[in-house]
Amino acid sequence: MPCDLILALDVPTRADAAPILRSLRGSLRWVKIGLQMFTACGPDCVREVADQGFQVFLDLKLHDIPHTVAKAVESLAPLPIGMLTLHTSGGREMMTAARAVQQQTKPDLLLLGVTVLTSMDAAALAEIGVPAAPDEQVARLARLATYAGLHGLVCSPLEVSLLRSQLPADVQLITPGIRPASEVGSDDQKRTLTPAEAARVGANYIVVGRPILKAKDPAAAARAILAELGWKG
């Protein structure tokens, strides 16, 4: 199966999301709900997106003490979600606790470990006391996540090849920081590739937001990206 597309539904309200989702029904499978939408609308927005036929990637980047994160996973398990993120920098104990609860409450849920945010470069890491280069830190956190039992990771597309050489083949790699060539470098994402480049290096999913959300025809923009990824519709 070719690399698949996830829409980052980074809009402020349900009213903003509704026409975009209507236009995209039948054009893509996955929608990512992040902190902006979840904070504004709560669990109802997850149910509404799922009710329209989309699979939901809930991107909350959980990061707390192990017990709290495990209880958060337990609380989220009844929602119709297929992916959920947590920060690998929370440590092995936190990830192991989350994984154990996920297996008990929602076995089909893919827990994704977030390594280094794509908005961060070496200078940003140094500011928070991490002397390693981004790719070194990503590899370290990715290995820790797989030791803890996670089978999916969120990383920059620039690190996909590195991770493919170090991790089990069944680890799913989800890559934000995807931009059409004409838009690379136009916003706060610093470590980017185009959709076709991300697919070639081994990403399982790419996450795209603004190039679809801001397009005059979001459905056409999504179909163009899917065609670049090798999907035929």
Active site residues: 61
Distance CA 210, CA 183 (A): 10
Distance CA 118, CA 131 (A): 17
Distance of alpha carbon 147 from the chain centroid = 20
Largest CA distance in the chain: 47
Q: Who contacts 136 (Cβ-Cβ below 8 Å, separation ≥6)?
A: none
Which of 48, 45, 2, 41 has the alpha carbon at shortest distance from 25? 48
Phi, psi of 172 (to 5 degrees): -85, 130
Distance CA 110, CA 6 (A): 14
For helices 14-24 and 43-51, the axis angle rounded to 10 degrees is 20
**Cβ count within 10 A of residue 201:** 18
Contact of 59 with 33, CB cutoff 8 Å: yes
CA dihedral angle for residue 89, residue 90, residue 93, residue 97, rounded to 10 degrees? -120
